[in-house]
Amino acid sequence: MKTIKYKTLYIGLMLLTMGIGFTSCFNDLDTKPIDKDVLTPDVVFSTPENYEKYLAKIYAGLSVTGNKGPSDLPDVVGIDEGSQASFVRMLWNLQELPTEEAICVWNDQTIKDFHKFAWTQSDVFIRGFYYRLYYQITLASEFLRESTDAKLSSRGISDEWKAKIKTYRAEARFQRALAYYYVLDHFRQGPDVNENSEIGAVPPGLAKKEQIFSYIESELKAIDADLLDPYVGYDTNYYGRATKAAAWTLLAKLYLNAEVYTGVSKYTECIAECKKVIASNYELEPVYANLFKADNYKSKEIIFPVIFDKDKMQTWGGMMFLMSASVGADTKALIASPGGWNGNHATVNILNRFSGVENMDERSKVIYTGYNKIEMTDPDDFEQGVHVLKFSNFNSDGTDSGGSFPNTDFPLFRLGDVYLMYAEAVVRGGTGGSIADAVTYINKLRDRAYVVDAVGKVTSSDLTLSFLLEERGREMLWEATRRTDLVRFGKLVSSSYLWPWKGGVKDGVGVDAKYNVFPLPVSDLNANPNLEQNTGY
């Protein structure tokens, strides 16, 4: 079993309640004060071990919603904090539900508005994700504020620990850059918060998309020398931590979408970052399905996971949600899911993506059609449509991992995605790579996927943008990238790319272009006069 290195504790939340946390995003919260004579930053950070524990708190924010209570985010979020306020669950909802890959049949508040493209600036799920991102940004910024050379020296931190904390600072900056990447991708703008922000004095200014893009880019480049070197495989000292390869992958994602974010293409830069990752000796997992099983921590393909553990990293969100919401009581045994919640299914488009090769492409085996009601006359009927049984609590040897919670990690970054990004950047005109290498990387993915290699082989003439969008849909299905992909390809809101019940219409319909981005929460707009709403909301 994997060893979870990240110990969580209450320091982050305590600092937040002291007023060392959010400025605009949470200044309307009713927080309970604590005795500042008992707990101050100088007390919290008086021992070097607490720096390590605080860093663990930042990492844990990607996995769980809180330490021992339901959530770090107070009730202002307005959703079930113990499950719906988790990073992976909210990211997945916003990335998958507005696409052909997922529909939710539940009646949880506004959850159905995502597939209908009917969300508003008051949406609780959008607000929850926004607050989670800025919570991460604030925790990371506080760590950086309290770990300067001057602060470390004043607290008598040894040189040995100073060297460790230098790496921890780079990891905290990565985590903040990661959160800002999702702010940029989903909202295009947001409050400008960092370790130099005046805490509680004035609300932060507005950072526009170009500023956020440049900030993420500069931060990831600046920390390159201080991050851990790339490692391949499982090691308890490294697993789950951000390495240079994680930063390169995040930069590649940033550059691949740069034209959408800022109007300036960066495909050449994307290729350069992909090449660094590819040269780091990561390997494709030989069996595709094993990437999403309970012992996937052993995989040499996963570059940066979000850790879940049935004993030590439990949450109703995260992997518990991804598994349990995809199956019912009668089908949960197919993936050894601890629960069968009957929530998420998908449109026939994902089945058609494998048309003609259903028995040859291993990736198609994650699609379940056992209900035999593939066409959706009623999107609220879980037994209609197709179902995706991609994430499993079985181990790769077929044994059940057991437990009341899953043991499977979420592969946020993996080599297969890097191969796809490289190929797309080359096809879009980036330099520094080659079509020949792009073909090689795509064929590596398809050689793994296809039972008969010759059936899946492609040539340079096959590498069109339309092919790559479909191939991304086959390879990255339900991995929380689809909305971003459809926006980049100009398909998300388009009337020329439809799927069942898009926009709330049975055969699908084009929708307003404003839905390419999400609105800033109205609660934060009301709290901070420096903010501006995205066009159309």
d(Cα 290, Cα 401) in Å, to the nearest integer? Answer: 13
- For 413, the 3-state DSSP assignment is strand
User: Cα-flanking dihedrals φ and ψ of residue 355, to 5°?
Assistant: -55, 130
d(Cα 3, Cα 450) in Å, to the nearest integer? Answer: 34
Q: Is residue 187 part of a domain?
A: yes
d(Cα 8, Cα 56) in Å, to the nearest integer? Answer: 6
Residues sharing a CB contact under 8 Å with residue 384, sequence separation 6 or more, in sequence order: 345, 371, 373, 374, 375, 376, 377, 378
**Which of 454 and 364 is assigned the larger pLDDT?**
364
pTM of the model: 0.93
What is the span of the domain harbouring residue 211?
1-227+501-525
Q: Is residue 189 part of a domain?
A: yes
Q: Residue 470: name the closest of 449, 453, 451 by CA.
A: 449
Q: Residue 187: name the closest of 515, 529, 489 by CA.
A: 515
Q: Region 193-203: what's the mean pLDDT?
A: 83
pLDDT, residue 65, reads 81
Give strand pairing partners of 394: 400
Q: In 337-471, which ranges are E strands?
A: 344-345, 367-368, 387-388, 410-414
Q: What is the dihedral of CA 186, 190, 195, 197, to 10 degrees?
A: -170
Provide the mean pLDDT of the chain.
Answer: 89
Q: Is residue 386 part of a domain?
A: no
Q: Region 407-431: what's the mean pLDDT?
A: 98
How many domains, in total, are found in the chain?
A: 1
Q: Is residue 27 part of a domain?
A: yes
Q: Residue 88: name the closest of 184, 182, 25, 168 by CA.
A: 182
pLDDT, residue 1, reads 46
3-state SS track over 16-47: HHHHHCCCCCCCCCCCCCCCCCCCCHHHHCCC
Q: Is residue 469 part of a domain?
A: no
User: Cα-flanking dihedrals φ and ψ of residue 514, to 5°?
Assistant: -60, -25
Q: Is residue 34 part of a domain?
A: yes
Q: Is residue 104 part of a domain?
A: yes
Q: Is residue 420 part of a domain?
A: no
Q: Residue 238: name the closest of 163, 360, 335, 246 by CA.
A: 246
Q: Region 331-352: what's the mean pLDDT?
A: 96
pLDDT, residue 444, reads 97
Share of the chain above pLDDT 70, in %: 89
Question: The domain spanning residue 16 has which CATH number?
Answer: 1.25.40.390
Share of the chain above pLDDT 90, in %: 80
Name the token pair of 71.
């959530």
Place of tokens 């979870």: 4
